[in-house]
Amino acid sequence: MGVTTERQDNTLIAKSEGRIDGANAREFQDALDAAIDSSERAVVLDLEEVSYISSAGLRVILLTAKSLQKQDAKFAVCSLSESIREIFEISGFDQIIAVHDSRDEAVDALKN
């Protein structure tokens, strides 16, 4: 469960792929922690290539959101598949984590 990163304006884009579930959530967390430096001010997690997220995966995203909040950085997720969007809606996570349709929209939103 790798995480690749790139930069768009001053925002760090972290991207992963495949299934994120109980079996690899730990790996995902470690990869994400390693990718995000404590000096980051804005981070977008791009889920376009992610096919499925279990609650263990949601927990990693929640932890990331919380730790970024502590370092006063902004955070959003983008490009969710229909089924992942549904998981965000049912769990209520869409009310505590910013969800955007596309990467550009997310980057724009974090600028302000």
* Site for other proteins, rule CB under 8 A: 21-23, 25, 51-52, 54-56, 58-60, 62-63, 66, 83, 87, 89-93, 95-96
Structure tokens at 46: 């791009």
Judged by beta carbon, residue 10 or residue 55, the one nearer other proteins is 55
Measured from the CB atom, is 68 or 107 closer to other proteins? 68
Instruction: Give min distance, CB of 107 to other proteins, in A.
Output: 25
Cβ 92 to other proteins, closest distance in Å?
A: 3
- Could you tell me the smallest distance in angstroms from the CB atom of residue 91 to other proteins? 4
Which residue, 48 or 93, is less far from other proteins as judged by CB? 93
For other proteins, the closer of residues 47 and 60 by Cβ is: 60
Dist CA 110 CA 68 (whole Å)? 13
